[in-house]
Amino acid sequence: MTTHFVVHEPGDSVGVVVVEGIKKGDKLNGWVMDGDSTMEFETLSDIPIGHKIALKDLAVGDTVIKYGTDIGKVVQPIRRGEHLHVHNIKTKRW
């Protein structure tokens, strides 16, 4: 079984895509490193390698958690399986 994305901690709201060529509609396998568990779902977006994928639905204003750490806030609704990047999340620093 191919691992398409990795998640560092069970409470993270995003995973990181680790293979090239992820297309909308692909069925993805994810590995949660802390606890050594897996998850599976369909992607709703094309997602480049190294970019983030939503593990759950996120509303405007929600905090995005990666590596157990707050990495920003949602500025546009995001559904599970969608691409997260500068178009829908922003840092809280500015």
Q: The CATH number of the domain where 26 resides is what? A: 2.30.130.110
Per-residue model confidence as pLDDT tens digits over 19-47: 999 999 999 999 999 999 999 999 999 99
Pairing outcome for strands 5-7 and 27-32: parallel
Q: What pLDDT, in 10s, does the model give residues 45-94? A: 999 999 999 999 999 999 999 999 999 999 999 999 999 999 999 998 87
Query: How many domains would you assign to the chain?
Result: 1
Backbone angles phi, psi at 45, to 5 degrees: -145, 155
Write out the residue range of the structural domain in which residue 9 sits.
5-91
SS3 35: coil
Q: What's residue 91's pLDDT?
A: 92
pLDDT at 1: 83
Q: Is 90 exceeded by the pLDDT of residue 18?
A: yes
